[in-house]
Structure 1
Amino acid sequence: MSCRFVPPGHHVSRRSRAVRQAPRFALLCAAAALTFQLTGCAVGPDYHKPAAAVPESYKEAPEGWKTAQPADTADRGPWWLIYDDAQLNGLMDQLNASNQTVAQYAAAYRQARALVGEARAAYFPVVSASFSGSRARSPARVSNSNSNGFTGSGSISNNVNLGLDATWEPDLWGKVSRTVSAQEAGQQGAAADLANARLSAQATLAQTWFALRSLDAQQKLLDDTVAAYQKSLQLTQNQYAQGVAGRADVIQAQTQLQSAQAAAIDNGVARAQDEHAIAVLVGKPASAFSIPASALTATPPTVPVTMPSALLERRPDIASAERKAAAANEQIGIAISAFFPTLTLSASGGFESSVLSQLLSMPSRFWTLGPSLAATVFDAGLRRAQTEAARAAYDQQVAAYRQTVLAAFQDVEDNLASQRILAQEIVVQQQAVESAQHALRIVTNEYKAGTTDYQNVLSSQTTAFTAQQKLASIAGQRMVSSVGLVKALGGGWDVSQMDQETGGVAAPAPVAASDAAASGAQGIAPSSHGAMQDAAMQGARPQ
């Protein structure tokens, strides 16, 4: 919208009277706008949370497990403290500060939060100011007596403009309010996505950590097995030197030892990969990060299990899917509002003069007020198609929400079943280890006495080693499954935290080479949480 300034002598008195009447027009315009705003209605369907199938209880819950009490389901903060592992706590601190995936979702949340402010700006008028100046020369006039001559040398005029424009579109049909609601739902969904990304990264770190410790335990078993096979080879060589055993027995014992040595070396590949994965999770270069070996000694803590209905409030991925459905519902109303006319209120005013010193004088003032009403008469079905597309998008988000709920219950049931079955399996496997070791001792003594051949010794050694390796593997699986159950139950998160999320996680700076080398040399440093850890352990006490 342009601003005009009237030069002196151009009906100044009439414009001056108009200027004196401007406040009346402004009040009338404001009253009309307020009336439209109050009487405006939001077209389109109101949002209702989609219904989802929720079971009354978990089928795979172990017998005797007690449903968590309200105090147990309260936010425990750092959920990983229930494992009472200082080294894991230190790694979690590094992840929360430096994980690049979490930083991406934090930036996406801040973007969603800014979009809410952008949508709310449509509630208010847009005001713009302008200032311009020009200098023009007009051509000389042609003489009436002599067509080939001119009179005068033309004229030079100056023009200076100073203006202020304002436009506002009242939210008659709820387009702005629904846009704001859609962006607010998007912000909450982004907060839930951020929480889900953080929880996933934390759970992946904990699972990888316990998998690495399980590999350390298996490495110790392999090293002990290699030492035992070396003794067995020495025994066979002694038997061969005395003529009791044959050359084939020595070759078999040597082959078994070499196979165990190869397995011990191969175990290092998986451990190195887990160590590198942890480095990436905590935001450090894999080449400058190391974790000292230490066998797994932890056992899974008892995780309080909430009612299935509470899972809808505890899982950030479910909350995110529900918020996406809410945002899609608001888009339907936005599409429907296009069927109705739009009202735009505009006003402009300012000063215009040919003399700069007289620019801000009363005779140089001018103003204009005017509403405009616009409606689309024909669009070849565009708005109807957009509305149908919005409805289909909403149905898609509802289906995605229900699918997320179903997958969440499957996740819980899978981990409950895993915990229950592995707890039973580890008892039986421990018995199998004891039986295999007892059989190995008997066969070894018989071989020393010359009452059995070396093939029985090899078979017993293989059985004992396999049973021990299986036991170590099950122990690691139980810890990994325990973390999976905590994650499946939502960790320490609650849906109320969507409105408390700040998204303050900035993109971490690259780790300097000197810092990375220092971190690699020091390995991982234990983190001291003090009373927080004690409180967390109390909040997650076994039922």
Structure 2
Amino acid sequence: MKRHVKPAAGRAGKLVGILLALVAPLAGCSLAPVYTPPHTTLLPMSYKGTGPFVLAHPDDELAHGPWWNMFGNTELDQLETELDAANPDLKAAQETYTQARDVVAEARSQLFPQLSAQAFASQNAESAHTLFHSLASSPSLPLEEASLGYGAAASWEPDFWGEIRNRTNFAKASAQATAALVATARLSLEMELASDYMMLRGLDAQQAVYTNTLGYYRDAVNITRLRYTGKIGSGLDLERARDQLATAQAADTDIEAQRAVLEHAIAVLAGQNPSTFSLPPGDLKPLTIPVIPVGVPSELLQRRPDIAASEREMAAANAAIGVARAAFYPNIRLSASFGFEDNGIGLASLPDSLWSVGASALLPLFEGGLRRAEEQQSWSSLHQAADTYRSTVLKAFQQVEDQLSLTTKLATEYKQQSDAVRASVKAQDIAMQLYTSGLNDYLNVTVAQIAALNAELSKVQVKTRRLQAAVDLIGAVGGGWSAQDLPTPDQTVPFQPIAMRTSPQDEHTR
């Protein structure tokens, strides 16, 4: 038995060895184009907009970590911390990165041999009247017999054309892009929470204005009533005063409704139930408008996670070209199996052994243009990714310039509006004094009251917009994120091929 097995095994081994020797020089081949990250050459030396920011050196950027600390508000700090820990949308976005890493592991697994083991046991019986097997012709043949066996098999697809490696590179770049998109989602949610918080405190400040104004309007109603009762004022004056009071009360109630809706939105962003969440009334005064170091324009490309995601999508599209090109070449696969089979329990003996060694190659000859269409599609996807990258860069610069211009104009507007408040309040007081002295018509008082109220409300609204613009400017320059926060290609691999299996929950908490 040994005489027959060894030569056959030797011949099969020689054939496989010859095949490996022929194709081994191609093992390092990759058909993907050489990828170089895009470079935007027409970058300005500085930003056009001016405002409360610092034109910093390349290494002078927003500090890493909680950027909202720049506003000096402990309540905002707490809400943002709760968002990062419990916001369900952010958690869902983070799971997309976990899934992307597992896709990397799936693609990478094809680089390694696939091993399997099997065992079987069966009891088999045939009919007594099976063709060529009757009791009359061959009574000694058994009608029932057991079959037992076990063995192992191995298969491997050598990556001669780089298809598997390019699939892995595609998955790694896609996972990196997903990580950057998660950072973009986190920054967007943090900005939304901060902006909503500024708006809520702005509404509180507007309510404080209405509280003072309603007190003033009630005094005006009392004055006009006394003058009407004393026959020195008209009923028209009294009704105008009542109208002013009721209109202001209605506007104050509307602000209460807006505040309630904003409070609910903040609760959801912080991962809390709106039914049990509440923020006590506050003011804009504890919120400071920070000085924001925007850096130089060339650094913006390294500080925006959406730009990093777009660049990584280009790298993935480049790797996909290598996958499409590899389809034009033979698909080579090596396989081997070995085991024992017997009709009893004495399996581990050479006469009961069985084995197989082989290699196969599949080369497409004619598929109606399928491979060419796939390659052209991959090139088109790369060009599309490049255009998307350029669009993302341009929009990023637009956002920075918008917020720089807005912060500048709003700072000027706030000073102008403060002057308007002082003048309108003084005019309101003078108009009321003249009216009580009988030297002025109440219509002039009404006009002065409306102007004073609108001026004070506008001042609060401008300060709220200044705070929101500061939030948007911080987000436009990346919120302290940098390309160094992006995981490396190797870091996207969730585990090594030979590793102890853990539960999905353990992997989730890593």
Q: Normalising to structure 2: TM-score of the pair?
A: 0.90
> Who is 1:270 aligned against?
258
Structure 1 unaligned blocks of 5 or more: 1-10, 507-543
Residue 124 of structure 1 aligns to which amino acid in structure 2?
F
Change in CA separation of 1:238 and 1:148 when aligned onto 2, cut-off 3 Å: closer
Deviation at 1:470, TM superposition (A): 0.4
1:152 partnered with 2:152: no
Superposition pairs of residues 312-323 of structure 1, within 5 angstroms: 312-323=301-312
Choose the corresponding residue for 1:327, options 301, 316, 319: 316
> Who is 1:15 aligned against?
5
Superposition pairs of residues 127-206 of structure 1, within 5 angstroms: 127-137=115-125, 149-150=136-137, 152=139, 154-155=141-142, 156-206=144-194
Deviates more, 1:434-443 or 1:422-431: 434-443
Deviates more, 1:439-448 or 1:372-381: 439-448
1:483 partnered with 2:471: yes
> Who is 1:103 aligned against?
91
Q: Tell me, yes or no, if the aligned pair for 2:193 and 2:266 is still in contact at 8 Å.
A: yes
Deviation at 1:238, TM superposition (A): 1.6
Q: Tell me, yes or no, if the aligned pair for 1:141 and 1:151 is still in contact at 8 Å.
A: no
Dislocated runs of 4+, deviation >6 Å: 139-142, 500-504
Change in CA separation of 1:82 and 1:30 when aligned onto 2, cut-off 3 Å: farther
> Who is 1:114 aligned against?
102
Choose the corresponding residue for 1:309, options 294, 298, 311: 298
Choose the corresponding residue for 1:69, options 44, 52, 57: 57
1:461-483: CA deviation from partner (whole Å, max 9, x where unpaired):
11111111100000100001100
1:219 partnered with 2:207: yes
Structure 2 unaligned blocks of 5 or more: 495-504, 506-510
Q: Normalising to structure 1: TM-score of the pair?
A: 0.84
Deviates more, 1:395-404 or 1:373-382: 395-404
Count, aligned residues: 488
Change in CA separation of 1:50 and 1:69 when aligned onto 2, cut-off 3 Å: closer
Residue 152 of structure 1 aligns to which amino acid in structure 2?
P
Deviation at 1:289, TM superposition (A): 1.2
Distance 1:290 1:140 in 2: 85
Q: Match of 2:367, SS?
A: coil
Q: Tell me, yes or no, if the aligned pair for 1:47 and 1:326 is still in contact at 8 Å.
A: yes
> Who is 2:449 aligned against?
461
Deviation at 1:138, TM superposition (A): 5.6
Distance 2:307 2:129 in 1: 80
Deviates more, 1:467-476 or 1:363-372: 363-372
Q: Tell me, yes or no, if the aligned pair for 1:141 and 1:154 is still in contact at 8 Å.
A: no
Deviation at 1:148, TM superposition (A): 10
Percent identity reads: 37
Residue 315 of structure 1 aligns to which amino acid in structure 2?
R
Distance 1:16 1:352 in 2: 19
Q: Tell me, yes or no, if the aligned pair for 1:75 and 1:494 is still in contact at 8 Å.
A: no
Q: Match of 2:452, SS?
A: helix
Deviation at 1:35, TM superposition (A): 5.9
Distance 2:233 2:242 in 1: 14
Q: Match of 2:382, SS?
A: helix
Larger relative contact order (CA 8 Å, sep ≥ 6): 1
Distance 2:208 2:411 in 1: 23
Q: Match of 1:310, SS?
A: helix
Deviation at 1:36, TM superposition (A): 2.0
Residue 45 of structure 2 aligns to which amino acid in structure 1?
E
Residue 204 of structure 1 aligns to which amino acid in structure 2?
E
Q: Tell me, yes or no, if the aligned pair for 1:106 and 1:503 is still in contact at 8 Å.
A: no
Q: Match of 1:347, SS?
A: strand
Deviation at 1:352, TM superposition (A): 2.3
Distance 1:112 1:250 in 2: 70
Residue 231 of structure 2 aligns to which amino acid in structure 1?
G
Deviation at 1:131, TM superposition (A): 1.3
CA RMSD across the alignment: 2.7
Change in CA separation of 1:466 and 1:354 when aligned onto 2, cut-off 3 Å: same
> Who is 2:502 aligned against?
none
